[in-house]
Chain A
Amino acid sequence: MQIQLSQLMPIPLQDKLRQRSSDIWNQEVTFQPGKFVKIKAPSGTGKTTLIHYLYHIRYDYTGKVQVNGQPWQAYNKNEVAAMRQRDISIVFQDLRLFEQLSARENISLKRVMEPKPYYPAEKIDEMAARLNVSHVLEQSGKTLSYGERQRIAIIRALMQPFRWLLMDEPFSHLDEDNTQRAAALIADECKARNAGFILTDLDNDQHFPYDVHYHL
Chain B
Amino acid sequence: MRPFFELLKKIIQTGVGKTRFLMAAVGLGIAMLLILIAIQAHSNFSQLLYSSKNQNETADFLVINKTITNAMMGQSSKSIFTPEEIATIKKQPFVQSFGLVTSSQYKVVVQAPGDLHFATDMFFEAVPDSFLDVKAQDWKWNEGDRTIPIILPNDFLNLYNFGFSLSQDLPQISQETVKALPLQVNISNNQLSDQYMGHIVGFSDRISSFLVPASFMAWANEKYGMTTAAGTSRVIIKTPDPSNPALVKFLEDNGYTTNQDKLKFSKTRLIVQTIVSVVGFFGLILLFFALLVFSMFIQLVIASCKWEIQLLVILGTAPKQLQRYLLKQFVPLYIVIGILSLLLVTGLQYWAAGELARHDMQVSTWPGIPVFAGIALVLGLVYIVNLLTVRKYVNNI
Contacts and interface: CB of A to CB of B under 8 A. Distances in A.
Contacts of B10: 98, 100-101, 105
A57 B7 contact: no
B395 A77 contact: yes
A112 B395 contact: no
B11 A112 contact: no
Nearest to A78: B318
Between A55, A109, A115, the greatest number of chain B beta carbons within 10 A of the residue's beta carbon is seen for: A109
B308 interface: yes
Interface in B1-17: 1, 3-4, 7, 10-11
A84 B315 contact: yes
A96 B11 CA distance: 13
Interface in B220-265: none
A108 interface: yes
B316 A100 contact: no
B319 interface: yes
Contact of B7 (A77, A81, A84, A101): A101
B314 A113 contact: no
Contacts of A55: 314
Interface in A108-161: 108-110, 112-113, 115, 160
B317 interface: yes
B11 A81 contact: no
Between A78, A100, A113, A115, the greatest number of chain B beta carbons within 10 A of the residue's beta carbon is seen for: A113
Given A77-B395, A101-B7, A110 B315 contact: yes
B320 interface: yes
Contact of B315 (A78, A82, A83, A113): A113
A85 interface: yes
Interface residues of A, number: 21
A160 B4 CA distance: 14
Contact of B308 (A84, A98, A110): A98
Given A101-B11, A105-B7, A108-B3, A113 B319 contact: no
Contacts, number: 54
A96 B3 contact: no
Given A96-B311, A108-B3, A113 B11 contact: no
A77 B315 contact: no
Nearest to B5: A112
Contacts of B319: 77-78, 81
A101 B4 CA distance: 13
Interface string B304-344: 00001001011111111100000000000000000000000
Interface string B276-310: 00000000000000000000000000000000100
Interface residues of B, number: 18
Chain A interface secondary structure, helix, strand, loop or mixed?
helix
Contacts of B318: 77-78, 81-82, 85
A85 B314 CA distance: 10
Nearest to B320: A78
A113 B11 CA distance: 14
Nearest to A89: B316
Contacts of A77: 313, 318-319, 395
A108 B316 contact: no
B314 A96 contact: yes
B3 A81 contact: no
Contacts of B320: 78, 81
B314 A109 contact: no
A74 to B, nearest CB: 17
B316 A112 contact: no
A81 B308 contact: no
A99 to B, nearest CB: 10
B7 A110 contact: no
B17 to A, nearest CB: 19
A20 to B, nearest CB: 30
A108 B7 contact: yes
Contacts of B316: 81, 83-85, 110, 113, 160
A92 to B, nearest CB: 8
Nearest to A88: B316
A57 B315 contact: no
Nearest to B311: A96
A115 B320 CA distance: 13
Given A78-B319, A81-B319, A98-B308, A112 B7 contact: yes
Interface in A47-69: 55, 57
A113 B308 contact: no
Contact of B311 (A78, A83, A98, A113): A98
Instruction: Give the 10 A-B residue pairs with the shortest CB-CB distance, closest first.
Output: A84-B316, A81-B318, A112-B3, A112-B4, A85-B316, A78-B318, A77-B319, A109-B7, A81-B316, A78-B320
28 contacts: A57-B314, A77-B313, A77-B318, A77-B319, A78-B318, A78-B319, A81-B316, A81-B317, A81-B318, A82-B318, A84-B315, A84-B316, A96-B311, A96-B314, A98-B10, A98-B11, A100-B10, A101-B7, A101-B10, A101-B11, A105-B7, A105-B10, A108-B7, A109-B7, A112-B4, A113-B4, A113-B315, A113-B321
Interface of A: 55, 57, 77-78, 81-85, 96, 98, 100-101, 105, 108-110, 112-113, 115, 160
Given A81-B321, A112-B3, 7 more contacts: A77-B313, A82-B318, A105-B7, A109-B7, A110-B315, A113-B317, A115-B1
